[in-house]
Amino acid sequence: MNMHKTLACLALGLVLALGGTVATAKTPNDTLVMAKDMSDIITLDPAEVFEFTGGELIANIYDRVMMFEPEDLTKLVGGVAESYTVSDDGKTITLKVRAGQTFHSGNPVTAEDVAFSLRRVIKLNKTPSFIFTQFGWSADNVDSLVKATDAMTVSLTINAEFSPGLVLNSLQAGVGSVVDKKTVMANEKDGDLGYEWLKNHSAGSGAFSLKTWNANELVTLEANPNYRHGAPGVKRVIIRHVPEPSAQRLLVEKGDVDIARNLQPDQIKGLAGNNDVVIGKYPKAGLTYVATNDAHEILGKPKVRLAMRYLIDYEGMVNSFLAGEYKIHQAVWPSGLWGSYDETPFSLDVGKAKALLAEAGYPDGFKIQIDTLTEAPFSEIAQSIQQSLAKAGIESQITLSEGKTLWPKYRARKHEIIVARWSPDYIDPHSNTDSFAHNPDNRLEAKLTGKLAWRTSWFDPEINALTEAAAKELDLGKRKQMYAELQQKVQMVSPFSIMFQRSEQAVLRKNVKGYVSGSNFDLVFYRNITK
């Protein structure tokens, strides 16, 4: 027993000795510490980043040609470009680079850096490059279409029929980030335009520079004291990879992190009475939707598609397990943005759905497969839909999969019904309508896998034409009207039942001020944060 006592005393002594020194540690005033699940980052090269966390980070590291600034997230303004002019035919955009900007390296920001950055996106041909290739830019012609005409002027020639407004909006996307050409090319290997190096380094002119990225551990950003808006409110930002939401909650409650980003709704509820923290709610542009496969012999019938919309308990879900995080939205472009369409004509109406099914020739329902993601709240949404479908005699079976398994099935058009999510790639309605509504070639071999309309085998020439016309329209007022009309039609006839728009909830220590989280995943800004 003596040995046991000795061991117990030793253990207790160790715990007390170590604990006394560390448990009281709190974050320093000049450092913001954030807990976040960062397992989605696979690159920090702005020509390639297409993931949520990566998008957020590069928004703070790089200034983009055009930007939404944290001071007013509704207004598109010049970022690296101070101003722009559009030629009468709408084909040429001339950008004037803001004077006096410097990269983190100390190099001045020039027109050649802007042109290089945009051309690099096309030449590297990574996933988000489609945002620019739609303007008719290709590896063969981009050198002549995107060029610096003098030290501070860039000329962009659009080689396709597109509204200049849409082009300017797309320059606000992550691919519009301006990289330091000299630094990037100094790290080029085998003609890769610095791609391997820039994956985990930075060469920007934004409010922060990347100090370290240890995958699945932490990211450290250092403030740029020479930033064009002035030095950020904190000297550094440390983002800790904490995958478990319960651990995030404990960390923010104890003050070991200043912001926790991935808490579940029930955990946030549990913090309601805690005076040390503030719960921030930030409406996002992310949509949750149901898509039916139009190639399916039953689901492809227009009346069945319409019946599906009446077999979703929108109200029931937002008032129960989605409360506080989701709101009902039924159009393909999210609410609160230019060109939004906020009509919500559908609600759970089993009688109407049954009548539509009977008219389509299925009065007794049918059997169907529902695919969705394993993560919350997709399985709960699928179960709710399963119950609603059952009321109309539709027997369904749910299959839950990880995204890496589900998306290949969706891209291969092998789903029947899928419950999925979507966020815009840039803040212009075309970003969503081009995917949800535009399918110029419905053949299997066309493999337009990036477009949701193709994935669901939905081909509607009228909708295609309307989508293309809206993207080309020069008059802003008319263009807005066209998107309202397009969204109304898609809402009624497409295989997509848009259900919800998400809000992000973050838990902040009460002394944290100035955290800005805009509508899109890459509109999260750290530079105004103070403690």
User: Angle at the Cα of 368 (from 366 to 372), degrees rounded to 5?
Assistant: 155
Contact between 253 and another protein by CB under 8 A: the answer reads yes
Kindly report the backbone phi and psi dihedral angles of residue 395, in degrees, each rounded to the nearest multiple of 5, phi listed first.
Answer: -95, 125
Give residues 168-207 in contact with another protein (rule: CB under 8 A): 199-200
Tell the residue number behind the tokens 């930075």, with chain if given: 202
Contact between 6 and another protein by CB under 8 A: the answer reads no
The answer, yes or no, to whether the previous bond of 377 is cis (omega within 30 of 0) is yes
Distances (CA, A) of 528 to 6, 65, 423, 505, 516: 53, 20, 25, 19, 8
Contact between 448 and another protein by CB under 8 A: the answer reads yes
> Using H for helix, E for strand and C for coil, what is the string for 99-133?
CCCECCCCCECCHHHHHHHHHHHHHHCCHHHHHHH
Q: How many residues bind another protein (CB under 8 A)?
A: 67
Kindly report the backbone phi and psi dihedral angles of residue 347, in degrees, each rounded to the nearest multiple of 5, phi listed first.
Answer: -145, 170
Contact between 410 and another protein by CB under 8 A: the answer reads yes
Give the number of other CB atoms < 10 A from CB of residue 191.
7
Distance CA 45, CA 411 (A): 25
Contact between 43 and another protein by CB under 8 A: the answer reads yes
The region of 145-153, 236-244, 336-344, 489-497 touching another protein under the rule CB under 8 A is 236-244
User: Can you tell me which of 89, 225, 345, 404 binds another protein, judged by CB under 8 A?
Assistant: 404
Contact between 13 and another protein by CB under 8 A: the answer reads no
- The SS3 assignment for 103 reads coil
Closer Cβ to another protein, 228 or 235, answer by number: 235
Closer Cβ to another protein, 33 or 93, answer by number: 33
Distance CA 267, CA 289 (A): 25
Provide, rounded to whole angstroms, the least separation between the CB of residue 285 and another protein: 15
Closer Cβ to another protein, 452 or 484, answer by number: 452
Contact between 409 and another protein by CB under 8 A: the answer reads yes
- The SS3 assignment for 247 reads helix
The region of 94-102, 143-151, 165-173, 216-224 touching another protein under the rule CB under 8 A is 216-224
Contact between 241 and another protein by CB under 8 A: the answer reads yes
Distance CA 370, CA 381 (A): 11
The region of 39-47, 98-106, 169-177, 285-293 touching another protein under the rule CB under 8 A is 39-47
Q: What is the DSSP string of 23-35?
A: TT----TTEEEEE
Distance CA 209, CA 224 (A): 7
Of 245, 244, 206, give the one whose Cα is nearest residue 224.
206
Closer Cβ to another protein, 50 or 362, answer by number: 50
Contact between 160 and another protein by CB under 8 A: the answer reads no
Contact between 403 and another protein by CB under 8 A: the answer reads yes
Half-sphere exposure of 10 (CA within 13 A, CB side): 6
Structure letter (DSSP) for residue 342? -
Closer Cβ to another protein, 180 or 425, answer by number: 425
Contact between 254 and another protein by CB under 8 A: the answer reads yes
CB-CB contact of 243 with 252 (8 Å): no
Closer Cβ to another protein, 401 or 503, answer by number: 401
The region of 62-70, 127-135, 268-276, 300-308 touching another protein under the rule CB under 8 A is 127-135
User: Rg for the chain (alpha carbons), in Å?
Assistant: 25
Closer Cβ to another protein, 391 or 413, answer by number: 413
Closer Cβ to another protein, 393 or 403, answer by number: 403
| Amino acid, single-letter form, for residue 228 | R
User: Can you tell me which of 30, 71, 150, 402 binds another protein, judged by CB under 8 A?
Assistant: 402
| Amino acid, single-letter form, for residue 241 | H
Contact between 115 and another protein by CB under 8 A: the answer reads no
Which residues fall within 8 angstroms of residue 222, CB to CB, at 6 or more apart? 208, 209, 210, 211, 235, 236
The region of 140-148, 202-210, 258-266, 446-454 touching another protein under the rule CB under 8 A is 446-454
Residue positions counted in the chain: 531
Give residues 459-478 in contact with another protein (rule: CB under 8 A): none
Residue ranges of E strands in 43-182: 66-69, 72-78, 81-86, 92-97, 146-150, 153-157
Closer Cβ to another protein, 230 or 408, answer by number: 408
Contact between 129 and another protein by CB under 8 A: the answer reads yes
Provide, rounded to whole angstroms, the least separation between the CB of residue 28 and another protein: 8
Provide, rounded to whole angstroms, the least separation between the CB of residue 334 and another protein: 17
Tokens for 326, please give them.
Answer: 């989701």
User: Can you tell me which of 83, 127, 141, 397 binds another protein, judged by CB under 8 A?
Assistant: 127
Q: Which residues bind another protein (CB under 8 A)?
A: 3-4, 7, 14-16, 18-25, 28, 31, 33, 39, 41-43, 50-51, 125-127, 129-130, 199-200, 212, 214-218, 220, 238, 240-244, 246-247, 250-251, 253-254, 256, 401-405, 407-411, 425, 435, 446-450
